[in-house]
Amino acid sequence: MTGKTCPNCKAELKGKYWCSHCKAVFKCPLPGCETDITKPGAKDCPRCGLFFEDYLSQRKMYRCCPKCKKKQGLSEQQCRSCRHWFNCPTCGDKIPANTLLTCPRCGTGLR
Ligand SMILES: [Zn+2]
Ligand SMILES: [Zn+2]
Ligand SMILES: [Zn+2]
Ligand SMILES: [Zn+2]
């Protein structure tokens, strides 16, 4: 017994990444990312973009486009349907908003 309980549903936690009872994610389960998920009920990782629902149920590594909501492979840098950039093609930084026309870090044009 770990003694840790889920802050969401109070079930006992079996792992450090997510609650198997209510599916709340606390830490991104992607190897090498493991970002702490501070936003309760987050559907994807703020750092790598992993869409938790499909990973938890079938270990599928998808990301969900914030703009058109289409799911695609996590390795994609740009949405295949609406051409929204997930990550900057130059510096690799995550693009935080879908209205940005340039990368806030290096200034690369995103269109
Ligand atoms: Zn829970
Ligand atoms: Zn992540
Ligand atoms: Zn899209
Ligand atoms: Zn950049």
What is the Å distance from ligand 4's center to 54 Cα? Answer: 28
Give the chain's radius of gyration (CA, Å).
16
Q: Which ligand is nearest to the CA of 48?
A: 2
* CA atoms of 36 and 26, how far apart (whole Å): 6
Per-residue confidence at 104, pLDDT binned at 50, 70, 90? very high
What is the Å distance from ligand 4's center to 111 Cα? Answer: 13
Q: Which ligand is nearest to the CA of 28?
A: 2
Q: What is the pTM of this model?
A: 0.80
Helix (H, G, I), strand (E, B) or coil at 84: coil
What is the Å distance from ligand 1's center to 16 Cα? Answer: 12
Helix (H, G, I), strand (E, B) or coil at 60: coil
How does the average pLDDT of the chain come out, rounded? 90
Q: What is the mean pLDDT of residues 47-69?
A: 93
